[in-house]
């Protein structure tokens, strides 16, 4: 899968995130542990624990 596919997939997910509350965009431009913390924060909010 080339760069073109990756760009189309990203654009599709960003469109879904803009249209539907159930999709979230998480900034992954950080260390893996930081990204994992961001993911868990979103999950906790979704589950009503945050």
Q: How far is CA 28 from CA 18, 31, 32, 35, 47, in A?
A: 18, 8, 8, 5, 21
Q: Does residue 45 have a pLDDT over 70?
A: yes
Each residue's pLDDT tens digit, 5-43: 999 999 999 999 999 988 999 999 999 999 999 999 999
What are the residues whose beta carbons fall under 8 Å from the beta carbon of 23, sequence distance 6 or more? Answer: 13, 16, 17
Whether pTM exceeds 0.85 = no
């Amino acid at each position: 899968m080339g760069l073109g596919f990756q760009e189309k997939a990203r654009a599709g997910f960003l469109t879904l995130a803009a249209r539907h509350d159930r999709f979230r965009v998480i900034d992954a431009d950080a260390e893996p542990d930081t990204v994992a913390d961001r993911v868990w924060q979103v999950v906790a909010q979704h589950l009503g624990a945050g």
